[in-house]
Amino acid sequence: MKHLLKMLDLSSEEITQILDLADQLKYEKKHGIAHPYLEGKSIGLIFQKSSTRTRVSFETGMNQLGGQALFLSARDLQIGRGEPVQDTARVLSRYLDAIMIRTFEQKEVEDLAEYGSIPIINGLTDFSHPCQVLADLMTIREKYGDLKGLKMAYVGDGDNMANSLIVGGLKMGMCVAVATPNEYKPDDLVLDFANDYDSFLWTTDPKEAVQNADVVITDTWASMGVESEKEIRKIAFAPYQVNDSLMELAKENAMVLHCLPAYREQEITEKVFEEHADEIFEEAENRLHAQKAVMVLLMKD
């Protein structure tokens, strides 16, 4: 593994390696065991989309690993004023040991990897959110012990989360069911990948997707960049709310996960959210541990 650009690039063995190391790092942190595996290393954090969890978890994680993280907003970089991505990649490669970028276009992440000479980590694009999905898989595995054979149901927008959950879940031997409105389907590249699996289902019916699910996952209906569509999306996604009646179709004691921020009484009810708050905030914490594992695997000598 040279980079973390999208879930499609990872093998099941590489995902397992990340999750195993994340478990180890989480154990060490909980027990006060120092793990300065990246002492003397530096990572640049490029943000063209704002963030709470991504910024704090990467900065804190790098600090705990003994290295330093530099926050680089689009306002502070020449890339935000028209400098070609390839030039930024080549310059930063001479200063840093890795780059994490949170941006809009997947191509920008791919270009950094092509022209740079250091590891590139996708902190989020409109197409993919691998760091979040690694944390999700970690959280599910913590509860069930294994991922293989579990049913994951995703309900809502066919966005970067849907794209990444489909790929990650299928690669780890899960059954994956996704329910979205027809006009908000996951990316065709992901559907082409998933259609080779008998364990995959895409449907417009959330009840069909959630039937006998071990874990139910949702996301905001209007992600960053599509806020202007918020009212239109509220109407389109109204039947896709994760609520008590939908959860009755899942297995008893099924997990509920949400990558946050959550808009209660839209994609998920206040009641369901609070009943599963421990799982959701464990999922949020696991961003820290999963990303630390990625950084160690990419950056350690």
Active-site residue, selected from the candidate residues 3, 55, 129, 258: 129
Q: Which of 141, 258, 259, 289 is catalytic?
A: 259
Residues of each annotated binding site for carbamoyl phosphate:
51-54, 78, 102, 129-132, 259-260, 287
Which of these is catalytic: 55, 175, 219, 233? 219
Cα 90 to its chain centre, rounded Å, is: 27
Binding residues: 51-54, 78, 102, 129-132, 160, 219, 223-224, 259-260, 287
| Active-site residue identified among 102, 141, 233, 289 | 102
**What DSSP string describes 167-235?**
HHHHHTT-EEEEE--GGGPPPHHHHHHHTT-TTEEEES-HHHHHTT-SEEEE--SS-TT-GGGHHHHHH
Q: Give catalytic status of residue 55 as yes or no.
A: no
Choose, from 175, 287, 289, 291, the residue flagged as catalytic.
287
175 an active-site residue?
no
**Annotation marks residue 35 as catalytic:** no
Closest listed residue to residue 130, CA positions, set 8, 16, 297:
8
Spatial distance between the Cα atoms of 212 and 223, rounded to a whole number of angstroms: 28
Residue 240 CA to residue 271 CA, distance in Å, equals 16
Q: Is 102 a catalytic residue?
A: yes
The catalytically annotated residue of 132, 241, 266, 291 is 132
Known binding-site residues for L-ornithine equal: 160, 219, 223-224
Helices 106-115, 85-92: crossing angle, 10 deg rounding: 50
287 is catalytic: yes
**Any idea which residues carry the catalytic annotation?**
102, 129, 132, 219, 259, 287
